[in-house]
Structure 1
Amino acid sequence: MSYWQQKIYPALPVPLQHAAVSAYGWKWMKRRFGGIYEAEYIKFRNRETFTADQWESYQTCELRKILLHAWDTVLYYQQTLKNSGISRNRLEKFELSDLRLLPMLSKETLRKEGTKSLLSFKPEAHGSFFSSSGSTGTPTQICYSHAFHQRLSAAYEARVRNWGGVNRFTPRAMVGGRRVLSEGVAKAPFGRYNYFEKQLYLSAYHISRNTAQEYLKQIVHYKSEYMVGYAMSHFFLARFIDELNLEAPPMKSMLTSSEKLTPDMRGLFNKVYGCKTFDGWSGVENCGLISETENEELLVSPDVGILEVIKSDGEPAQPGEIGELVCTGLLNFDQPLIRYKIGDQVRLRKDQTTRCGRSMPVIEEIIGRVEDVVIGKDGRELVRFHGIFINLTTVQQAQVVQESLNDFVVNVVPSGKLSESDKLSMASRMKSQLGEINIEFKVFSNLPLGPGGKFKSVVSKIQRISATK
């Protein structure tokens, strides 16, 4: 954290903090939307009409380009490709089906080598590092050149905002991980305004029953027309607005990311804001993009990255099956990520024919992080474990922490007093999936957010056993 962020910004009065956020927003806007942005945006829009054959040809060409660049300029890949018996001549003729011949890149290797041997020694201009939140326990440093940022921003505009019925000029309210309020401040206003992008940046750290009305006042004051950001934070805010019978202005759309989006969340957002929700997935590495269309389909953008879906046995997942995402980014030449195990799981849809007519891979469900699954005594990995909290009348917010294969802690923020029947229901649901286990319930007035302001409903402290070992 810079001296400005630590010392100067927190000492400013609120009006000057708005001005500081706007100044930062202007600089950020120039970085993302200058240079090659407009040309790249047009290309992303035009490629949406590609046929399956055109996509295969495009990806093959781009894959060869990134592989040859990695061979020529990135020490890590020079070593690993040679060790795998891959020659430069072979890379010139590489096919998509050959990807499986390449070694995978782990998150731990990216953490260790991301600022060293994984960097190209022929970088694009104006590169700088951005950190992941570390919510997986393995924070990483990702290098963004201005050109990479502009290519990425063009993809986001075309495939996320536009599919959600908005654009970068539409006023928005965002909840994210930046601490826009001074440390320890717990009084209104709970957001800061970026004038140049018409962006109200709301704090993810202060949402409560007592503050919801103040959040809503700012949303109304700044005439926000769509919501964007962390799914759980937006859900908490919308739920308080609903419970307090407050009236929110209608929104054009809700664009969520970072956390699991459930049907209940979609329903609540529609009830409170009168709009559709558009889910998405990317991550700070931005080596792949999944976004939701106007027809409520989750599509992979093949021009952002090549996404393999790999089962625990190492085989490619088939339509209808769950697998872990292994990503090869096509946009970042300063720090190429080739066959990167990003740590998220998806389920492929059985029917890969889209309703919108776009020839892009269809995802049935973004399941979540591999690191945030519950491990059974028999080695089973149980996803969507937060389902044990459904339809409990006295549970406002909850979190399962797996301490060992036998020991679990359930942290609960109750609505009033936690009932014995709800405790019995949670225990029964857990034991029905895991067998006889030890469960301890702890009651809190609020649950802390993790790194980057993200809430994790399931936390496992035990090591996942790899099927390849």
Structure 2
Amino acid sequence: MLFKDFLWWLLKENRLVNFLYRECFVYLFPVNKQPVSADAGIIDKSSLLSSAGGGKSTRLPAIKGYSSGTTNQPLTVYRSIKSVLLEEYIIKSFYKSIAVPLRPRIAVLRGEQIKVNTDGDGIYWRQQFFSKRLLMSSYHISQSSFRAYLAALETYKPDVIMAYPSAITLLAKFAKGISWQARWKLSAVFTSSESFSKENQQLVREVFGNVFDHYGQAERVAALQQCRQQHYHVREDYSQVEFIEDEHGIRIVGSNLHNKAMVLTRYDTKDYIKGLSLDIACSCGNPAPYVEQILGRDDDYIILPDGSHIGRLDVAFKGITGLVECQLEQRALDSIIVRMVPEKAQDIHVLKAGIADNLRAYLGENVTLVFQVSDEIPRTAAGKFQSVIRSKDIDSA
């Protein structure tokens, strides 16, 4: 672990490499305006999984990576050295645009499972020796532990918090309940890897200040980053991005430009967006196309008995008070498991009734709601929160 931290500091987190990523690497990744031919067919994860070699080029050395497998289809991906450099450049240049210090203090709240707390000491973080990053577990934030997390942040005083949206939203919700705010000079909270609703973003801003979301994926075919106007701009120096409309909305299709170890052309991310602006200038000054919101994958849908697909169900929890978190799981067409974490001293019957009324407006009366009350909702092995889980058996029913 110490050696890995040393390599991280050496290759990613010292002042010299940060300067190179921010100021010099722009010349390695020029914007490519040559459009991908529409004659090329669209591919997706399933086609990669079924192909020999999984899309890997055998002619170049490659660094192996993995998707998190939240869709029950884990994928091995391969990245060239240039692709690895590109990923760091995209993040470090993003930092520069928000005036993050050249050598920032970073707290990380992204799937780090620091320890299993069996001795009751309440410590769920550790500081790296070389990189100085504060790694914080995203698995243990709860009504009994959140004050310790906030105290650790106050002591460390990071310039940047890198977090999963679900983790920082949960911490912000608890913090707001005690009127806590970040009172040191925090440049920004940077989030990625999960859908992040506008309502939750606003909650995090109220507690932590600036929040900027980054959209990407393990296949690295598209990157969109939020500006100060909260628009997600396409990073045109990263890849070529198309927006394809289907019966569910507008989805992101991307072609990588700098990863010859695994060339992906017109790769369907199956992620959907809202509010596409291709030729309307953003007041932030960035001329790149932008979208208003990343909605998430088509796997976030509930399928009704009549075949209807109902997505974006986070709106069903608007106006519900006393709810910490909620997860929906569909194992059958006619029933939904509703897992909920209530706030302390909350009337469970009132909370269930409010959630049921909201869900009925979207799901109708032919779906049975089965409520399960718990102290926490488990994350995936990668530390991510899934708001909707749908059994693959439903798709073939």
TM-score for the superposition, normalised by structure 1: 0.75
Distance of aligned partners of 1:421 and 1:218 in 2 relative to their CA distance in 1, 3 Å threshold: closer
Question: Given the alignment of the two structures, is residue 428 of structure 1 paired with residue 360 of structure 2, yes or no?
Answer: no
User: Which residue number in structure 2 is paired with residue 151 of structure 1?
Assistant: 86
Residue 173 of structure 2 contacts residue 324 of structure 2 at CA under 8 Å; is this kept in 1? no
Over aligned residue pairs, what C-alpha RMSD do you find?
2.9
**1:305 Cα offset (Å):** 1.2
1:290 Cα deviation (Å)? 0.4
Letter in 2 for 1:110: L
Would the alpha carbon gap of residues 193 and 242 (structure 1) be closer, same or farther in structure 2, given more than 3 Å must change?
same
Q: Please list, as runs of the form range in 1=range in 2, the aligned pairs for 1:277-292 lying within 5 A after superposition.
A: 277-292=211-226
Question: Contact 2:170–2:324 (CA<8 Å) still a contact in 1?
Answer: no
Residue equivalent to 2:207: 272
- In the TM superposition, 1:121-270 aligns within 5 A as 121-124=58-61, 127-158=62-93, 160-167=94-101, 169-181=103-115, 187-246=121-180, 248-250=182-184, 251-270=186-205
CA deviation after TM superposition for structure 1 residue 300, in Å: 0.4
Compared with structure 1, are the counterparts of its residues 333 and 184 closer, same or farther at alpha carbon in structure 2 (3 Å cutoff)?
Answer: farther
Q: Is the 8 A contact 1:31 1:150 kept in 2?
A: no
Question: Once the two structures are aligned, what percentage of the paired residues are identical?
Answer: 22
Q: Which residue of 1 aligns with 2:369?
A: 439
Q: What do residues 58-86 of structure 1 show as CA deviations (whole Å, max 9, x unaligned)?
A: 231xxxxxxxxxxxxxxxxxxxxxxxxxx
Query: What is the match of residue 56 of structure 2?
Result: 119
1:14-33 aligned within 5 A? 20-21=1-2, 23-32=3-12
Q: Is the 8 A contact 2:241 2:254 kept in 1?
A: yes
Report how many aligned residue pairs link the two structures. 391
Distance 1:44 1:188, change over 3 A: same
Higher helix share: 1
Does residue 336 of structure 1 match 2:263? yes
Q: Post-superposition shift, 1:188?
A: 3.2
Mapped pair 1:409 → 2:344: no
1:40-119 correspondence to structure 2 within 5 Å: 41-42=22-23, 45=26, 58-60=32-34, 95-96=35-36, 98=37, 100-113=38-51, 116=53, 118-119=55-56
CA distance in 2 between partners of 1:344 and 1:238 (Å): 26
Distance change (3 Å), C-alpha of 1:183 and 1:108: farther
- Structure 1: segments with no counterpart, 5+ residues: 1-19, 61-94, 314-320
Q: How far, CA to CA, are the matches of 1:183 and 1:140 in structure 2?
A: 31
Deviation at 1:208, TM superposition (A): 1.2
Name which one, 1 or 2, has greater alpha-carbon Rg: 1
1:459 aligns with 2:389: yes
**Corresponding residue number in structure 2 for 1:374:** 302
Per-residue CA deviations over 1:292-336 (Å, capped at 9, x if unaligned) read 1233321001121112221225xxxxxxx9312111111211111
Flag structure 2 segments of 5+ consecutive residues without an equivalent: none
Q: Give the aligned residue type for 1:451.
A: A
Q: Is 1:387 the counterpart of 2:367 in the alignment?
A: no
Instruction: Return closer, same or farther for 1:463/1:107 CA change in 2, 3 Å cut-off.
Output: farther
Write the distance in 1 (CA, Å) between the matches of 2:119 and 2:228.
Answer: 39
Cα deviation, residue 428, structure 1: 2.3
Q: Distance in 2 between matches of 1:148 and 1:42?
A: 18
Match of 2:246 in 1: 312
3-state DSSP class of the match of 2:259? coil
* TM-score, structure 2 as length reference: 0.88
